[in-house]
Structure 1
Amino acid sequence: MPEDVSMKSSNLVKYYHADLEDSLSEELLHFIELLKTELLISNDSKSKQELVEVQLYRLIRENSLECCFPNIESALRIYLPIMVTNCTGERLFFNLKLIKNELRTTMSRNRLNSLTLMSIEHELLRQINVSDIINIYFLMLKL
């Protein structure tokens, strides 16, 4: 198992060389031993609903172990937002499915792409003042 941890951690360090140090594999082995102690034992219902990764990050932060495991803390800070970004891709496909339904199967690809982009960026579109855009358009036509 230590060889496996060492190999995978070295791959991670190569990819995130600016954020992680080569000592990550040793930190992971020490952290595994720490998890075997009573420090992790918790029976509250909130921890049962949280992801393991969040529990590990919380364990490090609440016990002020950042100085002991700086690379693990950094790796968890890198990893935890990745799960959120995966949801964004799923949401994009869901929006596309809503837009391209049976009634719009004859829509051109260009129009479908534009509607999809507008649906995805709906928050940004709400901030745009449409009358300003129309005025700019007419000013350009007069030139």
Structure 2
Amino acid sequence: MKTSEVYVSAENLYLIYKSDLDETFVNECIHFQSHLQNIKYHPKSIIDMSTMMKKHELEDIFPYVSIALRMFLCTPATNCTAERLFSTLRRIKTYLRSNISSDRLNALAILNIESQLAHQINYSDIIEEFSNIQAR
């Protein structure tokens, strides 16, 4: 992008998120762009850029760029994930489990949502570790 395009885009983003970003955000973006042009490694995605900022400790130099990147990474592109989470909760909290505590409900929801990861867990290690803990 040209510097003028970066300026306009950063200005628009600042106007939308005035409470999260500072007035210096626009200049910070321009300086960050020139920094990216001068380094050998060019990030290919927003996650790479955020990782590169952490790795090279650039968060202190460009704090508002770091905040904007984290806001972008945390904002869902669609609401499908949130809707899927609520439908998962509906399946977990059935009539028979209506007295379940919120901590247990949250734990069950996470296990259900991350089912691919849960299937990869070696439960024998967890059982062994739990059995080694002394009884109360």
TM-score tier after normalising by the smaller chain length: 0.5 to 0.7
SS state of the match for residue 67, structure 1?
A: coil
* 2:53 corresponds to 1:60: yes
1:13 equivalent in structure 2: 14
Distance 2:97 2:54 in 1: 48
CA distance in structure 1 between the aligned counterparts of 2:67 and 2:26, rounded to whole angstroms: 13
Aligned to 1:74: 67
Secondary structure at 1:40's aligned position in 2? coil
The 3-state SS of whatever aligns with 2:35 is helix
| Larger Cα-atom Rg | 1
Query: Which sections of structure 2, spanning at least 5 residues, go unmatched?
Result: 99-136
The answer as to whether partners of 2:14 and 2:26 remain within 8 angstroms in 1 is no
> Closer, same or farther in 2 for the Cα pair 1:79/1:132, shift >3 Å?
closer
State the Cα distance separating 1:120 from its structure 2 match.
Answer: 6.5
Task: Work out the number of aligned pairs and report it.
Answer: 97
Aligned residue type for 1:66: E
Tell me if 1:130 matches 2:79: no
- Scaled by the length of structure 1, the TM-score of the pair is 0.56
| Greater fraction of residues in helix | 1
Q: How far apart are 1:86 and its partner, in Å? A: 2.4
Deviation at 1:81, TM superposition (A): 2.4
Aligned to 2:30: 29
Root-mean-square deviation over aligned CA pairs: 2.7
Aligned equivalents of 1:130 and 1:62: distance in 2? 49
- How far is the alpha carbon of 1:76 from its aligned partner? 0.3
How far apart in 2 are the matches of 1:127 and 1:14?
Answer: 42
Q: Output the CA distance in 2 between the equivalents of 1:13 and 1:87.
A: 22
Amino acid in structure 1 at the alignment position of 2:91: R
| 132 and 63 in structure 1: CA distance in 2 versus 1, 3 angstrom threshold | closer
Q: Give the superposition deviation at 1:75.
A: 0.4
Identity of aligned residues (%): 21
Q: Retained in 1: the 8 A contact 2:50–2:66? A: yes
- Alpha carbons of structure 1 residues 130 and 34: separation in structure 2 relative to 1, 3 Å: same
Using a 3 Å threshold, how does the CA distance of structure 1 residues 120 and 21 change in structure 2: closer, same or farther? closer
Kindly indicate whether the alpha-carbon contact (under 8 Å) linking 2:10 and 2:26 is maintained by their aligned counterparts in 1: yes
2:37 & 2:96 partners in 1: Cα distance? Answer: 63
| TM norm structure 2 | 0.58
Q: Secondary structure at the match of 1:25?
A: helix
